[in-house]
Structure 1
Amino acid sequence: MSPDTSDADRPAPRPDPTAGPVPGPPAAPVPDPIEGPVHGPPADPAHQPPAGPPQYPFGAPPTGPVPAGPTPPERRPGRVAGVALGASAVLTALGVPLGLLWAAVAPDTPVVKTAEGAVYAQPQPEQPIAADGWFSLLGLGFGVLAALALWVLLRRRRGPVGLLAGAAGGLGAALVAWQVGRRVGLSTYERLLASAPDGQAFTKPADLRAGGLHRLFDVLPLPYGNLLLPAFGVAVTYTLLAGWSRWPSLRPEPEPDLSWVYAAPPATGPQVSSGPVDSPAPTAAPEPPAPGAAGSPRG
């Protein structure tokens, strides 16, 4: 073969059987329908496509319960007990304004001084019954408001500890309100009872007849009657709030981010029709005839 022969006319070189297989160009990565595309070597960052929504193997984001985060550490018992005692002390101290309010709205009972002491000016007065009714209404309303305040202000301490603290504070507030309210005007009544002549009329301050303290075995004082209504109001209201709570732990929990669940998948690849499988595909409409086409033959 002469040196003037062109490359196109030269025969292709025969492969050497002893040299092994001739390496060819690298094959393109084949995407796996389950595991996703197989990534090859890193490409040039300048030619990377812009970041888009996350890709899912089946064209839809996964659904199901979102895994919960780490559980918070256990609270120290000493701090929880301190918060409960503080809440009970605050509610008990609020019994002072409650007692002053009761003394202001409850009517005084008219009495007359006699040789045996003070007697009612009327055979069956309604003022003592009104005093008991006002104390019951104010105590029950105080218990409801106290439970709402504990639920809102101590949201991190919701549970049995908050319920016990509210009930104890409601009972303490009832005792304080009773003693404060009955002593408003009591000194004036005792002075008139000791120095007024027989037949003089005056008033007796409000007191409870449907509630009070009795001693168990003549040692332990136990409240009874409408003195228990503030604690009852706290217990019932707090229990209802716990039953209507949407959190299992009764404490506010962070809401999981579910925006990715409702995100639309990217429109990549062939679109699958959502209609029935056996329905035939619609036929295309016939194209209009060309302007210069011949008309149909006449019969």
Structure 2
Amino acid sequence: MGPPRRPGRIWATVLGTALVLAVLGAPLGLLWAALAPDTPVLKTAEGAIYAQPQPEQPIAADGWFSLVGLGFGVLAALALWFLLRRWRGPVGLLAAVLGALAAAPVAWQVGRRIGLSTYDRLLDTAPAGQAFTKPADLRAGGVDWLFGVLPVPHGSLLLPAFGAAITYTLLAGWSRWPSLRPEPDPAALSWASAGMPVPTAAPEPPAPGAAEPPRG
């Protein structure tokens, strides 16, 4: 049993780790923007319309965000499991889930803004009939505001936290230590505390017919 953990240090660890993961949502958004295809649109007098009746690019954008989000959650859980060994357990799980939950909206907002200014400019200045592309955005996820102040993500934005929770739980379930942290061998610890060397393995018996050592 280690020393008792102070609630202040626990929450500082959880919030600090969640903040680091939230910042990592920015490169995650850049990766999503690089993988997700832009959607061809056509300028009309009423605005921009899809150049194709049923484009596949918006569906691909949702799919790519789901894949990179799940991968981010899995990698985040693995990193926290090995880097924060002292905090393995509910503290590490909470930090992983909150961090992945905060990273998802950051990735969405960063990724959807890549090329958005160019799209808005063409939407305002391009003549009717000109074709251009719209940057990737999410249709299967977003953020709702609870009581107007508390952001609540939904849809695809929950997948990073889901991946982190499942991975961390599996790591805890497969751990061979009850405390989830490496523990010393009880047999070796008892011999060391007694000041005695750890016994070596007994010698193998002589083979049949072997000559006995001289006595005397």
Residue 180 of structure 1: how far off its partner (Å): 0.1
- Structure showing greater radius of gyration is 1
2:82 corresponds in structure 1 to 152
Query: What are structure 1's unaligned runs of at least 5 residues?
Result: 1-70, 265-299
Match of 1:249 among 179, 192, 201: 179
**C-alpha distance in 2, partners of 1:256/1:103?**
52
Residue 221 of structure 1: how far off its partner (Å): 3.2
Q: Percent identity?
A: 76
Matches within 5 A, 1:239-278: 239-258=169-188, 264=202
**C-alpha distance in 1, partners of 2:153/2:199?**
57
Residue 253 of structure 1: how far off its partner (Å): 1.3
Distance 1:221 1:88, change over 3 A: closer
1:181 aligns with 2:181: no
Instruction: Report which structure shows greater RCO (CA 8 Å, sep ≥6).
Output: 2
Amino acid of the structure 2 residue aligned with 1:193:
L
4+ aligned runs moved over 3 Å, structure 1: 215-221, 257-264
Give the structure-1-normalised TM-score. 0.62
2:139 corresponds in structure 1 to 209
Structure having the higher helix fraction is: 2
1:200 corresponds in structure 2 to 130
Matches within 5 A, 1:164-175: 164-175=94-105
Match of 1:227 among 157, 160, 173: 157
Matched residue SS, 2:2 = coil
2:50 corresponds in structure 1 to 120
Amino acid of the structure 2 residue aligned with 1:180:
V
* Number of residue pairs the alignment of both structures matches: 195
Amino acid of the structure 2 residue aligned with 1:153:
L
Which string of whole-angstrom CA distances, capped at 9 and with x for unpartnered residues, describes residues 200-238 of structure 1?
000000000000122345554321101000000000000
**C-alpha distance in 1, partners of 2:142/2:63?**
14
Residue 263 of structure 1: how far off its partner (Å): 5.7
Matches within 5 A, 1:70-109: 71-109=1-39
Which string of whole-angstrom CA distances, capped at 9 and with x for unpartnered residues, describes residues 141-183 of structure 1?
0000000000000001001111111101001110100000000
Matched residue SS, 1:250 = coil
